[in-house]
Amino acid sequence: MTKKYRIFYFNESDLAPVKPAALDPSAYCETPVYNPDLCPNMIAAQAKLVYHLNKYYNEKCQARKAAIAKTIREVCKVVSDVLKEVEVQEPRFISSLNEIDGRFEGLEVISPTEFEVVLYLNQMGVFNFVDDGSLPGCAVLKLSDGRKRSMSLWVEFITASGYLSARKIRSRFQTLVAQAVDKCSYRDVVKMVADTSEVKLRIRDRYIVQITPAFKCTGIWPRSAAHWPLPHIPWPGPNRVAEVKAEGFNLLSKECYSLSGKQSSAESDAWVLQFAEAENRLLLGGCRKKCLSVLKTLRDRHLELPGQPLNNYHMKTLVSYECEKHPRESDWDESCLGDRLNGILLQLISCLQCRRCPHYFLPNLDLFQGKPHTALENAAKQTWRLAREILTNPKSLEKL
């Protein structure tokens, strides 16, 4: 029986704006463009692409990693000093920025100059985790029993309705950090970022670090992510699913863009769901992390655009979706790196065109919400140029 393949070719005109409903971002583009069954020339082209991608990874991706690692050490010295001053003023905010096996716990790289440090808080025990799906990407913490109010470590941040207010805790923490910045030994090189309710530091006028109070939730899994894993998709296997759910999630005290304009007390006091450790666990094995590293490097060098339409988290999300589309471990062999990269870039173009990128665990949450449409359109065109250059001339990676 003769096999049939669908190969997609894109022209610049293909990137004209489309109606959001015209494309389903969960329906992936057909890949790979290079299929080894088509002809021997395709095998050679695929091997050539993998060769240049590995060269790109060894040279540019590793250089990026080394530069960011150096920046992280510099930044964490300053942040640690500020947090020590905070702890002196208010012992409930204990620094959890600890280095474990060369990695700082709770630190996320947003870009080479922007970072987020999650500060883990203690004693969430007297609150119930309420996640009914009414607040996309968020949940609330409510007293399990009104009589336990005085037992909470955070009693003055509990609202009259019995909610632990993320906003009130963040406001208090922001005041403490502002005072600590003036007292710490790095006060000449660190300043608070004004005009935001978030706690952000500007360090040496080069780096931005957001410090976010949070609760770590292990041993439970949110109802809004209960659909995962999808029953008809064989990835990930049951053992990996168990590991991911054991990692749990974080509840962050930060502004949630999905709630902009909403004013009810429960919503303004809501906590943002974050799955950083679970997502990292998913991407173990094969060339998944290498693929993500290449995507991050390409983004940093070519997709840092006005309106900031794309960040590294979008790339991480699309790698997870690509894992579902290609569930076999053999699909993530080193020899498949080019195919997987192609698939993700084409899917990224599709998401940018229809202006929707669903969160991996919380698909009702759109990661493009609030992004300017013109910024998304420009990013689609730039991503297409990038994908076309890599597909038609792998050697161009030397200059990308």
Give the pLDDT of residue 150.
77
Kindly report the backbone phi and psi dihedral angles of residue 208, in degrees, each rounded to the nearest multiple of 5, phi listed first. -115, 130
Q: Is the pLDDT assigned to residue 290 strictly greater than 60?
A: yes
Determine the 3-state secondary structure of 117 from DSSP: strand
* Angle of the 62-89 helix axis to the 166-183 helix axis, nearest 10: 90
Instruction: Tell me phi and psi for residue 93, to 5 degrees.
Output: -95, 85
Q: pLDDT: is 394 or 30 the higher one? A: 394
Query: Please, what is the average pLDDT of the chain?
Result: 87
End-to-end CA distance of the chain: 42
Give the mean model confidence (pLDDT) for residues 42-62: 92
Both structure tokens of 182: 């003036």
Q: What confidence score (pLDDT) does residue 24 get?
A: 45
Q: What are the DSSP E strand ranges found in the chain? A: 99-100, 103-104, 107-111, 114-120, 127-130, 138-143, 190-192, 200-203, 207-217, 249-252, 271-274
For 175, the token pair is 């005041």
- Global confidence as pTM: 0.87
Contact (CB, 8 A) for 137 and 365: yes
The pLDDT value given to residue 256? 78
Distance CA 364, CA 372 (A): 19
What would the pLDDT profile of 82-101 be if each residue is shown by its tens digit? Answer: 999 999 999 899 988 988 88
pLDDT at 32 over 50: no
Average confidence (pLDDT) over 129-147: 86
Query: Is 90 exceeded by the pLDDT of residue 126?
Result: no
- Count Cβ atoms below 10 Å from residue 206 Cβ, excluding itself: 12
88 C-beta neighbours (distance < 10 Å), count = 11
Helix axes 337-354, 288-302, angle to 10 degrees: 50
pLDDT in tens, 311-355: 999 999 999 999 999 999 999 999 999 999 999 999 999 999 999
For each of the domains in the chain, give its residue range(s) and CATH number, in order of start: 43-399 (3.30.460.90)
Q: What percent of the chain has pLDDT over 90?
A: 72
pLDDT value of residue 52: 96
pLDDT on residue 264: 56
Quick: pLDDT tens for 257-285: 665 555 455 567 899 999 999 999 999 99
**Residue 258, pLDDT score:** 62
pLDDT of 125 strictly over 80: no
Q: Which residue did the predictor score with more confidence, 34 or 7?
A: 34
Structure confidence at residue 304 as a pLDDT band (50, 70, 90): very high
Is residue 30 pLDDT above 50, yes or no? no
Question: What tens digit of pLDDT does each residue of 202-231 get?
Answer: 999 999 999 999 999 988 899 999 999 999
